[in-house]
Structure 1
Amino acid sequence: MITYPVFTNDSTIGVTAPSSGVGEDLHNILNQAIKRMQTKGFNVVSGDTAWTQIKAKSASAIQRAKEFNSMIQSDEIEVIIPPWGGELLIEILEYVEFDKVQNKWILGYSDLSVLLLAITLTKGLATAHGTNLVDLRGEYSDETTAMWEPVLATNRDETIVQKSSQLYQKEWSHNSPSPCVFNLTEKTYWKTIDNEPFHIEGRLLGGCIDVIRHLIGTPFGDVRTFRDKYITNEPVVWYLENCELNTTDLRRSLVQMKLAGWFEGCSGILFGRSDANVPVSGYTIEDVYADIARELQIPIAYDIDCGHVPPQITFINGAYAELRVEDGEGTVKQTFKP
């Protein structure tokens, strides 16, 4: 049975950096994000790690884990939203007190998806893959990003529907953000293999494939036990986004997931938009998708609103989802089924 945290519009947000923190030269954007949350009526408690960054991490693994443990166990904090992702979150897993994790939302993406997926797989606690804190600093959020609030506010047994975006951002322009932070200029078009309509259902699991693949073979990546213990072997829908992998590295990662049993009971896979899908010797990203679809005999949708090419839909690890893609448009219906 999946447990879903509770979220309200006056919740207290804890800001900690289990991966990368924000260096002094960018403290202004973190301050803006915190003030924006306060203006919206949230209380904000900020940890020390959010404000530091050295050698590819906010602090030592023990210090990062200690601060996260404190916030996830605090009766004062209802939701944790790190500033952003990073590179080395996996270092803290052995120090996280999983047996003391309380039922509260954690929202983020990129390297944070290592922690999100590990908590859902080991605890049966729903976690939220979506926007990070610094991208909420704008005067307003685009319609897709703004859905993080109503999604997290969904109650057990309730359903929330999200639609594909109208436009996405092709390139980051940190020095000239729009009023909603992102510069949304390109027409969104969700795709499927052979352009066939796509309709699947199942429990959502996923994240940034660059980093969640490293959970394979660890105590934090036991998908078989999760399926048996928490979702009674219901089908799984994987959503995956690629930050930096070329096509052959992505292919190796997908094969590794398959060999590890992560795709057992999989009803379909969603792949996020990515600017990292560089072909190798003529092997294109479309070839990768076609190969895994053929091997697993499942439908594939790609270029969806997920990951490092924003905006992105808020996907809830553990939720029961019905997903449709047709004529370039997508619908994600999530039910907070125990």
Structure 2
Amino acid sequence: MITYPILKNEATIGVTAPSSGVPSELHDILTQACTRMESRGYKVICGKTPWTQEKAKSAHFRTRAEEFNCMMQDEEIDLIIPPWGGELLIEILEFINYDSIKQKWVLGYSDISPLLLAITLKTGMATAHGTNLVDLRGEKSDPATAMWENVLKTKSGESILQFSSCHYQNEWQHNNPTPHIFHLTQPTEWKTLSNRSEKAEGRLLGGCIDLISHLAGTPFGDIKTFSEQYIPNEPILWYFENCEQTATDLRRSLVQLRLAGWFENCSGILFGRSAANHPVDDYTVLDVYNDLAEELDVPIIYDIDCGHQPPQITLINGAYAEVNVDNGRGSILQRFQ
């Protein structure tokens, strides 16, 4: 069965950079984020890797893995939130001490998602796909982002309900932060391929498809063993967000995952909003979704609050989710069972 960490009040946050660190010219936003969390009652323990960045990574892969392992085994640390994602987290996966991981949440997205998925698949411990640390440096958070705390405080056996946002951010304006960091200017609309109300349920698994697709065929993407050991005979409800892939890149990734057996016993697929998904020779992302639906015969829900066009809801790898979409609005009920 899936095990769920619990976020306690006045918890200690460990900040480490298993992918990219923060370059010196941006250290102020990391400092702001740590200070903001302390002002909200958290204690923050910041490692060395968040403060360094060279050659597309915060540090050598062994250094990154060692700092993450130390924080996972540190009894004082209750929650780990990397500053943000990056490019080369995959280098550290084989050096993570999965057998000695303690029960604590790991929260993040983008290049953090391969680590989140690998932990859940290897250990059966739930992990949290959602906001990163630097996006919590504002005076306040929008309602969708702010739910991360309530989600991580949900106890095993309980459930938590989240709703689609009202507006989302179309593009980043890093030099013009709002009180909640994001510029939420575009109306949010969750869509279904059927153009009708849609429901889907199953065990949530997913992340940034650009990155987690590289786990297929490795010991860190063994969906079959995970299903047999932790969620026998239960359907999987996949969620993906696309950072940089064109429509044909996305199609190749999805075909690869299907051939690798990831979509066996799939009950539906959720796709986050994306500024990528660029068409190639008139082949569009809707063509990708239609081809996938034809192959799998499952509901396809897209443009949900997940990924690089914030805000995003907090999705728990391993939780049992019930998703409802009606007239552009959506909800996700996650059961920690």
TM-score range, shorter chain: over 0.9
Cα shift at 1:96: 0.9
> Counterparts of 2:157 and 2:194 in 1: how far apart (Å)?
35
Residues in 2 aligned to 1:270 and 1:3: alpha-carbon distance in whole angstroms: 23
What SS does the aligned partner of 1:157 have? coil
Q: Distance in 1 between matches of 2:196 and 2:6?
A: 38
- Mapping of residues 49-128 of structure 1, within 5 Å: 49-128=49-128
1:186 aligns with 2:193: no
Alignment of 1:39-58 (within 5 A): 39-58=39-58
Gaps of 5+ in 2: none
Spell out the pairing of 1:237-256 with structure 2 (5 A cutoff).
237-256=237-256
Q: Which amino acid aligns with 1:282?
A: D
- Give CA deviations for 1:115-146 in whole Å, capped at 9, x if unaligned: 00000001000000000000000000000000
Task: Determine the structure 2 residue equivalent to 1:261.
Answer: 261
SS at match of 1:144: helix
Alpha-carbon distance in structure 2 between the residues aligned to 1:77 and 1:311? 26
Does 2:249 correspond to 1:280? Answer: no
Instruction: Give, in angstroms, the shift of residue 197 of structure 1.
Output: 1.1
Q: What SS does the corresponding residue of 1:22 show, helix, strand or coil?
A: coil
1:164-216 CA-to-partner distances (Å, cap 9, x unmatched) read 00000001000001000000000000000131211011000000000000001
Equivalences, count: 337
Letter in 1 for 2:236: V
Counterpart code for 2:291: D
Displacement, 1:34?
0.3
Between 191-200 and 201-210, report the one with greater CA deviation: 191-200
Question: How far does residue 95 in structure 1 lie from its aligned partner after superposition?
Answer: 1.1
Give 3-state SS (helix, strand or coil) of 1:292's partner. helix
Spell out structure 1 runs of 4+ moving beyond 6 A: none
Q: Secondary structure at the match of 2:19?
A: coil
Q: Gapped runs of 5+ residues in structure 1?
A: none
Q: Residue 56 of structure 2 aligns to which amino acid in structure 1? A: A
Q: Which moved more, 1:190-199 or 1:38-47?
A: 190-199
What is the match of residue 143 of structure 2? 143
Q: Deviations over 1:71-120 (max 9, x none)?
A: 00000100000000000000001111111111100000000000000000
Deviates more, 1:189-198 or 1:292-301: 189-198
In the aligned structure 1, how far is the partner of 2:288 from the partner of 2:273?
14
Partner of 2:29: 29
Deviation at 1:9, TM superposition (A): 2.5
Aligned partner of 2:169 in structure 1 is: 169
SS at match of 2:323: strand
Partner letter of residue 76 of structure 2? E
Q: Secondary structure at the match of 2:180?
A: coil
CA distance in 2, matches of 1:8, 1:223: 31
Hey, what's the Cα distance between the residues in 2 that align with 1:325 and 1:138? 30
Aligned to 1:224: 224
AA paired with 2:198?
F
Q: Distance in 2 between matches of 1:66 and 1:192?
A: 43
Distance 2:206 2:50 in 1: 25
Q: Distance in 2 between matches of 1:127 and 1:68?
A: 15
- Using the alignment, how far apart are the partners of 1:87 and 1:305 within structure 2? 22
Q: Using the alignment, how far apart are the partners of 1:224 and 1:197 within structure 2?
A: 31
Residue 313 of structure 2: SS of its match in structure 1? coil
Q: Secondary structure at 2:322's aligned position in 1? A: strand
Q: Aligned partners of 1:140, 1:108: CA distance in 2, in Å?
A: 18
Tell me how far 1:233 sits from its aligned partner: 2.4
The alignment yields a C-alpha RMSD, in angstroms, of 0.5
**Which residue pairs with 2:304 in the alignment?**
304
Amino acid at match of 2:262: W
Q: What is the identity, as a one-letter code, of the residue corresponding to 1:304?
A: I
Instruction: Give the TM-score, by structure 2 length.
Output: 0.99
Report the Cα distance in structure 2 between the residues aligned to 1:226 and 1:198, rounded to whole angstroms: 27
1:188-227 equivalences in 2 (<5 Å): 188-227=188-227
Q: Which residue of 2 aligns with 1:7?
A: 7
Q: When the two structures are superposed, what TM-score results if normalisation uses the length of structure 1?
A: 0.99
Q: What is the CA–CA distance in structure 1 between the aligned matches of 2:313 and 2:16, rounded to whole Å?
A: 22
